[in-house]
Structure 1
Amino acid sequence: MRVATHNGSFHADDVFAIAVLRLLHGDRLEVVRTRDPEQLAAADLRVDVGLRNDPATGDFDHHQRGGAGERPNGIRYASFGLVWKAFGAEICGSDEIAEEIDQLVVQGIDANDVGQTIVEPLVGSVTPLTVSHAIGMMNPNWDQENGAAAKDAAFLQAVGFAEGILGRAIASAQAQARAAELVRGAIARAEDPRLIELDRGMPWHRELVANAPEALFVVYPREQDWGLQAVPRVLGDFANRKDLPERWAGMTDADLAAVTGVPDARFCHAGRFMAVAGSRDGALALARQALADGG
């Protein structure tokens, strides 16, 4: 499989688009950086070059007059988004995960490439270092020797960097989807809808906050002990549906055991959102006390 993209300086848009194709085709993908019409025509796919967007012919460019369309939220497609739209679900294994990656990774890079502002500085002119900036800095400096060869070598390094980011983002989203299914099962099994017990540590916040409105606490095993954690009111918020008892705050070991009557109670965070016990029985005992606490 041969893919052609433009030569010269590169951006996150074309770099990530090629990274998508590398994830799909692996070492079978040959990358040619050129603007030569004959070489472009000979390639199986053309990315970010050619002034045409037609997946049926292998063309994924957005520089033509009128662009290549936009998403329902108004963010226009750059070449990364066009390639992802065509192949993302195949790589991820589902449309849902592909859409999640589009929101998490692709749209920000597309917006940067097409000149759409989606963040504004709150402190003077200070802005976050984005992945688009990081990719841009991988271009050779203007006075570096070897010219085109240096740019081609740097481009392949940037593609490897992007491939790693994209691969980890996909793996993380897939793991989140697996966890969501297990959390839904735990919600269904719960004897008390206020207390959810998981059989292993996993990301639970998104599923539990959205789909278990009565849940107040979660109990789960850690590497060498058991955790008890309060469910937040909303994702990303530090306010809990119910805090752990105030008298536990900041206490550890024997002091916490004395206050709770739980022999293997080990720790309660001063923020009253997490406690730790040495065993499942200990964590459940703490949870039941927390549920009964009126403070």
Structure 2
Amino acid sequence: MADQAVKRLKTDCITIATHNGHFHADEALAVHMLRQHVPEYSSASLVRTRDPAKLAESHTVVDVGGEYDAENLRFDHHQRGFTTTFPGRATKLSSAGLVYMHFGRGIVAHSVQQMLQKQMAAGEVVADADAVTADVDMLYEKLYTGFIEALDAHDNGIDAYDPAELATGNGGAGIAKRYTDGGFTLGAVVGRYNANWNDADQDQVSEDKRFVKASARIGEEFDRELHYLVNGWLPARSLVKAAFSARGEFDSEGRLLIFRHQSCPWKDHLYTLEDQASEGSKVLYVLYPDKEERWRVQCVPAAKDSFVSRKPLPEAWRGHRDDALDKILDGAVVPGAVFIHASGFIGGHRTFEGALQMAKKALEL
């Protein structure tokens, strides 16, 4: 099954389409894998759109379109009922995992062949075909579980630890992680610049060059974080505070936080304001306009770094879009619904009135 996607690749003018707007790690990696590691895509153009007509005419579509069809090179995971996982794993795939599942073995095999060619050129003994195939199989799985799976889990809102097990009260002792974090830590970012144990350039000059690159890389992350905190996070505090003070305007219990003009980073500030408040219910839904002047209804996470929502949007709504979603809402919300994410953590409507009605109806259910 993982090789079916290759059937349609022999064509000219390949276009890869993914969604526009706020981008995520999964589609960024999916596009990178295709364009940098699959030869047929080396000259592929990229289109970022949600226009169904443009998606339909695109050769390959990732992370948008509501369709997973490997034979026709459609790799979305947001549709209701999507449950595909990597063989032997329990984590639902994102677009990165889908592309990797279908192209990853070829990517790994190509890299292994390059290594073998270097060994042959150096006069070293090369493994036989069976051993090479076994190595490719092993690396194909290893790269998924050690790197890709963490992106799949993050994009699908899957916590590394089962919240139900953590809630048993034993402090997490003996509870296994659902997946590795893939080394996505600041320390790992720097560590990957060190030489491999068998690299030839182990001298001090080469080490110093690698250190300079690592310092620049971690420095870039620091500079981005500093810029964000000073210029984005801090100015948002007054907006969140004003919205928090007015939260009783739309719900007597203060469970709705509404940004009338634009969204901003709200989670840290909201948790702080709630801790400081002497009374009142916790905020459950945050409403804000997006760049296309539509409205979002986002659930407040149970904790800052959790994928578990305090009150997810109703299960019956999840994974549905547009007219189908309007029918499910059945008059409780004005027409114009856009989507409800398959995990229930966010939804959208074309109008503020509709988003507000959606949030209030969700409070009742």
TM-score by length of 2: 0.40
**Higher relative contact order, chain-length normalized (CA < 8 Å, sep 6+):** 1
TM-score by length of 1: 0.49
Larger radius of gyration between Structure 1 and Structure 2? 1
